[in-house]
């Protein structure tokens, strides 16, 4: 299960992960029950988010101390991801899946 929005300083996730490859910044972070932190990345600034195209967004997984574990989604269908949740087991065929909301498509 993913918890509420991360309130820690987002600078912890700058300099590693998908933004090192292009001009995107950490947008939303959520803790999972197993101690992992899921971070979404979107183009910097509202105008860039609105005009983002497919492949500009990303999702990475970090441990609680900010060490990158892996880049989960990068260069795929995400444009400007802004929301993230883990679907409950009762959510049909998507039960247990990571759901990512994206805009600008």
DSSP H or E stretch at residue 50: helix 46-50
Q: Which residue has the tokens 């990475």?
A: 60
Quote the pLDDT of residue 90: 95
Q: What pTM was computed for the model?
A: 0.72
The segments of the chain whose pLDDT lies below 50 read 1-10, 12-13
């Amino acid at each position: 299960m993913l918890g509420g929005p991360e309130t820690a300083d987002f600078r912890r996730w700058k300099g590693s992960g998908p933004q090192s490859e292009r001009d995107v910044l950490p947008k939303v972070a959520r803790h999972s029950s197993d101690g992992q932190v899921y971070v979404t990345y979107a183009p910097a600034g509202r105008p860039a988010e609105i005009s983002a195209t497919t492949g500009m967004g990303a999702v990475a997984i970090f441990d609680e101390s900010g060490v990158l574990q892996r880049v989960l989604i990068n260069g795929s269908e995400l444009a400007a991801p802004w929301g993230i949740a883990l679907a409950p087991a009762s959510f049909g065929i998507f039960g247990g899946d990571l759901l990512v909301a994206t805009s600008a498509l």
